[in-house]
Amino acid sequence: MSIAGEWIRYDEVAETYDRLMIAEGQALYGRLASDLVTFVGLRRGDVVLDVGTGSGAAGRVARDKVRPTGAVVGVDLSLPMLRVAKRRGLAGVIAGRVPGLPFREERFDAALASLVLSHFECYEMALADVVRILKPGGRLGVTAWAASQADHRQVWRGIAESFVGADALRSAVEQVARWEERFLDPSRVVEALTRAGLVKVCVEQRTYDETVTTAESLARHEIFTCGRYVRHALGAREWERFRDTLCAATERQFGSRLHSIGRAHVARAEKPTR
């Protein structure tokens, strides 16, 4: 994962990210993480690695599934995210990158990678490293965004492009999530897992309805790649003007509450037994 520029990382938004996107499993990312853990089929006693754990959304759910004899380890580049994860009850956390996992081969019964496949500099090498640490018969679960359309997101994007330029915004996204467009297609998810040497690959699409206030929706946008980049590019004064413009346009078109439908691929696969 690239670290070329502080805005690229989630360090400064770790607390806000957990509060708005996880919210004890009720917000969108929390629901998706819960679905992933269920889909993978974790069992009591499993030893699980949560890759790109962030604030521990999937890891926390996995922890409850494998108790009391199992264990979950979360790995992430962001120390602030790991601190949040640990405070939320994911005791086993470690700073690290993929590839380069600091674990011996065939250590884990399962691995999770929720919404991180698109962020790897080379997803083939990253998957190879994850497969390396799985026991034969071990399971890997991943999630990736599916294609979806939301008018209010288009409003946000259009105004952001008017402030920083479409090419600059697109380049920023590619620095952080260069494979996001690729994995909108579920066949690409299947292809990636299969080429990593995994078998019994299964992908399902899940849909998540949400209704949030306009203010909360705008706060969420500030957490993600585009929002972090725009804030970095504009500076404090222009950032405030951008926010005022965006808030006025969103409320004028949609009112005080926004309904959105998010779609994601939830996938599982197994490492072949000998």
Helices 166-176 and 151-164, packing angle to 10 deg? 110
What CATH number is associated with residue 204? Answer: 3.40.50.150
**What's the pLDDT band for 211 if we cut at 50, 70, 90?**
confident
Express each pLDDT in 108-153 by its tens digit.
999 999 999 999 999 999 999 999 999 999 999 999 999 876 778 8
71-76 and 47-51 as β-strands: parallel, antiparallel, unpaired?
parallel
- Find all residues with CB under 8 Å of 201, minimum gap 6, and list them: 190, 193, 194, 267, 268, 269
Return the HEC string of 156-189: HHHHHHHHHCHHHHHHHHHHHCCCCCHHHCHHHH
pLDDT at position 239: 94
Q: Is the dihedral of CA 218, 224, 229, 235 positive or negative?
A: positive
- Round the CA-based radius of gyration of the chain to a whole number and report it: 19
The predicted structure's pLDDT at residue 5: 59
Amino acid at 226: C
**Matching residue, tokens 């994850």:** 130
pLDDT of residue 24: 63
Beta carbons within 10 angstroms of residue 120's beta carbon = 24
Specify if 45 maps to a domain: yes
CB 14 within 8 A of CB 83: yes
Q: How many CB atoms lie within 10 A of CB 107?
A: 16
pLDDT tens-digit map of 19-44: 888 876 578 888 999 999 999 999 99
**DSSP run (H or E) holding 133:** helix 123-133
Which amino acid belongs to residue 183?
A: F
Helix axes 57-66, 28-40, angle to 10 degrees: 40
In a domain, 40, yes or no: yes
Asked if residue 1 is part of any domain, the answer here is no
Chain segment 158-175, per-residue pLDDT in tens: 999 999 999 999 999 888
Expressed as residue numbers, the domain containing 211 is: 6-270
Give the chain's domain count: 1
Q: For residues 193-197, give the mean pLDDT.
A: 98
Residue 149 has a pLDDT of: 67
Q: Do the domain assignments include residue 74?
A: yes
pLDDT at 22: 86
Q: Read off the pLDDT band of 1 (50, 70, 90).
A: very low
Whether residue 89 lies inside any domain: the answer is yes
Strand partners, 267: 142, 203
* Angstrom distances, CA of residue 33 to CA of 39, 60, 120, 150: 10, 9, 19, 22
